[in-house]
Amino acid sequence: DVVEKSTGEFSIGAGYSSGGDTEGPTVEGSISERNFLGRGQFIKLSAGGGKRSRDYSFSFTEPYFLGRRIAA
């Protein structure tokens, strides 16, 4: 029998910066999936920032690039 396991992850975080141009509270959140659509692909979306800064990130990894076992 095959038992399915969770392959996704959700995380959140918070902090406080006390120096530089970005002084103040910061927050961050991300969601990722290690087996996207059951094809072994990895996908991650994240966002974060504070009062004066914003950071966004998107990541996608194909484990069999061009039919070979090369991650891209």
Q: What is the pLDDT of residues 29-46, one digit of tens each?
A: 999 999 888 888 999 999
| Sequence ranges of the domains in the chain | 8-67
**Region 14-39 average pLDDT:** 88
What is residue 3's predicted lDDT score, i.e. its pLDDT? 81
- pTM to 2 decimals? 0.75
Sign of CA dihedral 8, 56, 59, 16: negative
Geometric angle at alpha carbon 52, from 48 and 54, rounded to 5°: 30
